[in-house]
Amino acid sequence: MTLSGIEERFSLISIDKEIYINNFSEDVKTGLTSESKYLPFVYFYDHIGSQLFEKICELPEYYLTRAETDILEANADGIASQFPEGTVLVELGSGSSTKTRILIEAFLERQNLAHYTPIDVSHQMLEESSCSLLKEYPDLEINAIAARYNEGIDHLNIRKDQQNLITWLGSSIGNFDRSEVTAFLRHIRKIMHPNDRFLVGIDLQKDKSIIENAYNDAQGVTAEFNLNLLTHVNRELGGDFDLENFAHKAIYNEEIGRVEMYLVSNIDQKVYISELDLEVSFTANETIHTENSFKYSLDDINGLAEGTGLYVEQQWFDTERFFSLNLFAPAVD
């Protein structure tokens, strides 16, 4: 699939590859030389990782996507009806934009032209998803940004004469520690005009077994997704990680209220990363912490909003109340 014939409705800003590799190098070196080893979750989403995550979203154990999709299908028209002609739909971590199609269609029912600005770390995924959307929706215009969240937000062209609906779906908010997400939401609040809104999918606290099953699927796709992080290091930084020597582990820490995902070394081993001139030693059962996924109570959500200059204007749930979709508005100063 190519962009031939639809270029006039598409633009793409891409953060320099060298900057990305420099950030990746620094983060990998810092994480793997720490006393408790870790790798930042953002590097899951190379092209292969993005494709694997799309597979995860279709798994029977992964309730999050189904619940959020049900909420959007039931409420997208009502959401779109609150925004005027010319509203820009911005999405953080857009991936394949599968769920966003529901919102795009709702906006196109009410507007002559829909404006969509997806932000994603994967340049290739952005091109593929944008091409698919533009071919399907002739009244859609896409201005994509290939970058991490903060970099992408800084490249947004937020104008006072237009209204913006910024979306952050899939409970990606859960990947951030509470202090990190507070700082990030304050950053979002600073760029929002009074009529802008921020639509955020947030996973809710529930039975431990339901949560743990979602991150330990029977087909092993989540394990493959987690291990692909090491493949990413091998490809970009000349690492010699042997994936057979590591295993996936995901547990729900009820005390903290988060899923913790790890890669576990099966043996005593050494790994060399040539681009960093770094040798990393692992003992058997030593872990690399790769991701957190915090689960929220309703009080947590309200507290987060109040602490970041926002308030919950509207809130929707799936029938089992596993998941929430939250429309945040800027609080009056």
3-state secondary structure 75-105: HHHHHHCCCCCCCEEEEECCCCCCCHHHHHH
- What are the tens digits of pLDDT across the range 286-308? 999 999 999 999 999 999 999 99
Same domain, 176 and 117: yes
- What are the tens digits of pLDDT across the range 21-37? 899 999 999 999 999 99
User: Which range among 15-24, 76-85, 231-240, 253-262 shows the weakest confidence by mean pLDDT?
Assistant: 15-24
Task: Specify which residues 190 forms β-bridges with.
Answer: none
3-class SS of residue 300: helix
Contact 133, 160 (CB under 8 A): no
Same domain, 158 and 37: no
pLDDT band at 6 (very low <50, low <70, confident <90, very high): confident
The three-point CA angle 171-168-120 to 5° equals 105
Residue 156 belongs to domain with CATH number: 3.40.50.150
- What are the tens digits of pLDDT across the range 270-288? 999 999 999 999 999 999 9
For residue 93, give both structure tokens: 């971590």
Within a domain: 107: yes
User: Which range among 8-17, 30-39, 118-127, 150-159 shows the weakest confidence by mean pLDDT?
Assistant: 150-159
Query: Tell me, what DSSP letter sits at residue 138?
Result: T
Q: What is the pLDDT of residue 3?
A: 58
Same domain, 136 and 72: yes
Residue % of the chain over a pLDDT of 70? 97
Within a domain: 137: yes
Q: What is the pLDDT of residue 7?
A: 82
Same domain, 159 and 177: yes
User: Which range among 152-156, 195-199, 218-222, 312-316 shows the weakest confidence by mean pLDDT?
Assistant: 152-156
Within a domain: 11: no
Residue 204 one-letter amino acid: L
Same domain, 88 and 190: yes
CB atoms within 10 A of CB 308: 21
Within a domain: 5: no
Q: What is the pLDDT of residue 303?
A: 97
pLDDT(1) > 50: no
Distances (CA, A) of 113 to 87, 164, 258: 9, 14, 40
- What are the tens digits of pLDDT across the range 156-187? 876 777 899 999 999 999 999 999 999 999 99
Q: What is the mean pLDDT of the chain?
A: 94
Ramachandran angles phi, psi of 236, nearest 5°:
-85, -30
Same domain, 221 and 324: no
Within a domain: 41: yes
Same domain, 77 and 45: no
Alpha helix positions (H), 176-247: 178-191, 208-214, 221-237
The three-point CA angle 132-133-134 to 5° equals 95
Residue % of the chain over a pLDDT of 90? 85
Alpha helix positions (H), the chain: 17-32, 47-56, 63-80, 100-110, 123-136, 149-154, 178-191, 208-214, 221-237, 298-306
The sign of the torsion formed by the CA atoms of 268, 269, 270, 271 equals: negative
Max CA separation in the chain (angstroms): 61
Same domain, 69 and 155: yes
- 83/148: higher pLDDT: 83
Same domain, 285 and 223: yes
Same domain, 315 and 289: no
- What are the tens digits of pLDDT across the range 43-70? 999 989 999 999 999 999 999 999 999 9
Same domain, 44 and 163: no
Mean pLDDT of 129-152: 92
Q: Are strands 269-273 and 278-282 parallel, antiparallel or unpaired?
A: antiparallel
Say how many domains are in the chain.
Answer: 2
Within a domain: 108: yes
Q: What is the pLDDT of residue 4?
A: 59
CB atoms within 10 A of CB 154: 12
Same domain, 197 and 304: yes
CA distance 152 to 146: 7
Q: How many residues does the chain have?
A: 333
The whole domain housing 169 covers: 62-207+295-330
Distances (CA, A) of 251 to 9, 35, 54, 67, 247: 44, 21, 21, 21, 13
pLDDT(320) > 90: yes
Within a domain: 8: no
Mean pLDDT of 181-209: 96
The three-point CA angle 180-181-183 to 5° equals 65
For residue 252, give both structure tokens: 């729900």
